[in-house]
Structure 1
């Protein structure tokens, strides 16, 4: 109590000032009460004077008037409590968050140079594996970049998946030539934006020039931001001062410029400038694992981040709660037959006349947000329904039906149940992120070992991602030209999201379960060796039409097709000013 008083009048204000209109209702109730008491006193003159002491209780009129004022005081305290008087801010505890990490791997042609044995790229792969073996503890994502940047593995704690993908990487999987670090950092920033905790970016690259210095500086110190970024960049240069000639794309000979072989070497001057930036560290390659072990230790030591609270309007201390107790005590004094009901009816009548009340506020008085969302969903307004739902599972289902798969992923990520993990996997499949989908299905199996559908999807995706099952790939050879038409026909019913043309069971309908299984998508996918010529970016094309095709037992070919599809769908183009090697 002592930390609230004395009142600082210069900071005094109301958190919910619109409730002060309630004083108008209090005044009307007081006036009507006094008039009623006065009218009741008028009939006394019709009683004989010698009988009045025996008919009328002494002091009853004055008590009624006093009680009217007590009622007004009690209601006034209630109005003030609702308005939320405040004059002092509260120090909120910081939120503890987990810091993410993104590994950026340069997949340009110059990484095939052999000044670092066996090649720069192979040594970078070794270092990534050694780093993961050091168990940094954070969620790690892997991004490959050349002329464009692509997510190879989203944020995950399953380092085995990252290591499996690392082995298959080469410049051939990238859709465009080049080495655009800016695109890679932008993608890393997007991946780390799922949390406000500062993240760490580990860069394996061999090409750093003055343009890269500006890119890194803008990433650490954004020009349009009043506060510097808290993200850290760890750089591991994958070349030597002596350098080496860049091999040709065919593997025979070297790339040439004006008849001379292109030579790539370490730019020590630029690296020295980059290392001087705040939150940027340059690590020199070592023969052992001490370099990556140091990075892993730094990540592990700063795994938990306590977010400092910022002063916002809702951080003012609401003193209105202190007025609730005296208001309740005063109400008890006039708690007599008919009085409470009469006063409540008067307050409701007066409040209903207030034109400032919004329709949404009125609905919130009588219906839960989930019920309102259910009504919007039945009307086919899925985006509006998602904005109303409080339950993340229902919100994700609504976004899924609306085709907003990114939003559905965010919603399902907040649901820790087995159903939420299963639906998260389906959303990732629709969004084209099959590695993340497999992780989600694995989490669903862990939470519900009896979920056979999730297990089948997990195994099927494992075959696709690792290229271990020709039988699974043979299913993808069936014609899928009518995929889009069939999908529209199957999803006309909001209760059937199986995508397989089969009716959902009663249990599925009750749970609003998403049954668009990966198995069905594979069976109905179309065999295509190239991205369609008439493919248009921005359209709601089914990603499995391109990715779920007949593949060799080579995961690199799958990644190549996936990145090629992403480049077409998102209309990604390389920077013409970037060096093509």
Structure 2
């Protein structure tokens, strides 16, 4: 900037001097017989050039005030939803009932969070974990539907017990999280417990109709959002619960800054257009244009107007910001960005293949993440081991390797526990699901009446399972164990 300022000063000072002597011309003829005299406020070509260069210099410095989202870091905080399941929640003043409306709101929140880690707790006289932390909302929905007051082992509304269980669930996470209570009332004895909480975002969705208040809710110091017919309540809760998490991500500094220099590039380019105005063309601009014209041009590949102005990676970035990840994956030429777009689009296997082409620790780590999301645990373990071989101190690789091993061990242990000891020879097919260690019995699909194998759908339809019955038995066992 100082160099540009000095050049501007000397060039303008020289250009502002009178170029001809007018002392010998009569004063009443001088104005008509001279051109280009010194005038205050006269704009010169060097003014536009200097301003354009200054904008370009500022843009090259990379001004920024926000960070770019990392597709491998959840953009929503881990959340524990504590649902009150009592007889009062079956009142029909909120159609169809308070409980059913609460379930609907929870499903809407799961869709809004788009893969954020969520756990579900049910409480009445005691609190019970329904679903542990999961990124798959499809796991939560059937258990959510099975929650009714008759599955709870105790009457009451112990919000403090639900809070303690929710905090212990969040303690296992690596980042700040939030707790959402969905209830129609709060016992005044639990008000202090809900108000004295630090390091966790806490909010309550009040399942009450208009004009109905609750004394306990009125005393709460946490945000209380009343249920609405539309999605305003859900969006408000998402923003409230996610605020602390977003601040933590910014303060942590692990996300790259979003360079906004392009915003200064546009006015600099518009100022450049003044060079074509008569009297504004700089003497050396013709030489610059000639040099640019003599440079070898890249092979033409324009398929649309966007290709005239933007590279494929820039177009891919725009599609990525629009959350059109499938289109972004097609456009990106950079393999890391291409893999990230495929990952965000749910094409985990394809993303892992793209990452595998690179020989960096970062690529191997991202390949491991893609394998885990695709439930390819053995491949994920191998990818994390590769990342540690390339960089033993790569952040998160060792922790994720241990997590992947625990998941695989859990899968194999579950297979062992489900071994029924049935004899073979019942017409089983050759389907084996990730049993390389030969642990447990392979799942057998029995034949139909005519000796044909049952399809997967037909076999699943023969399983009579009610989530409500399962939860009732599990909650009763948990409550008896506690006592």
| TM-score (normalised: structure 2) | 0.43
| TM-score (normalised: structure 1) | 0.36
